[in-house]
Amino acid sequence: MRPSAQEIVPLARALPLALSLALIGGCSNFEALRAPPPAQHSDSPAEDRDTVDAVLMAGTFQSMQHLVQVGPAEQAEIVASAREAYERSPQGSSKLRYALLLATPGHPARNPVLAQKLLRELAAQPEALQPPERAVALVELAQLNGEIELRGENERLTQSGDLRAERERSALAQHRLQAELDENAKLRKQLEDAQAKLDAIANIERNLTQRKSANEGGQP
């Protein structure tokens, strides 16, 4: 039995999360990730950049987790804030963050179709994201593709079932109509037979009356 869309999407969170954790060197405390990076710099600018990217991704994951734990009002604020940041800079990290929040299940503003669109745009422009962000975007896009495909299949099956049920109802109605027509034809035939018998009786009575009259008229 295939999992539902609600069961599929949360599974995607584990892989990006594990990826980010690995990139930041095994840090297991997300609260620590929210703090600013240490002031000291490593000898490798690339390593510094990877650490910063991983910290930013961890912050996005925290927002996704927080989004499903708070009430509707705060959920709306979180999504609205991400949307405003995306509208100010509709590319890169802000676009990815907004897409991930839209893809997160469990809140009224969830929009997997729009999230899929944004992630596809990001996948088509890999240079707009850092390697950890690209990995997360591709994983989430794959999950959304599966979810939306499954939803479409369920809708097609539902529509097919509705169409089949409608055809069955139509066939039943047609059968009942035909039965009524057959019954009416049978009743008309019986009526015609009865009328023919009545006409025959009436004709016999007229003949008898005419013969009687003729006999009586012929007597002296």
From 30-34, 160-164, 194-198, the region with the lowest mean pLDDT:
30-34
pLDDT tens-place string over residues 79-108: 999 999 999 998 888 999 999 999 998 899
Q: What percent of the chain has pLDDT over 90?
A: 20
**CB-based contact 122:130 (threshold 8 Å):** no
- How is the chain split into domains, by residue range? 5-156
Q: Is 134 left (phi over 0), alpha (psi -120 to 50) or beta?
A: alpha
Q: Of 49, 38, 12, 48, which Cα lies nearest the Cα of 138?
A: 12
The residue among 122, 74, 76, 127 whose CA lies nearest residue 102 is 76
* 64: its two tokens: 């996704």
Q: What is the pLDDT of residues 14-55, one digit of tens each?
A: 444 444 444 443 333 333 333 334 434 445 555 566 677 677
Rounded mean pLDDT, 46-74: 79
Q: Name the pLDDT band for 133 (thresholds 50, 70, 90).
A: confident
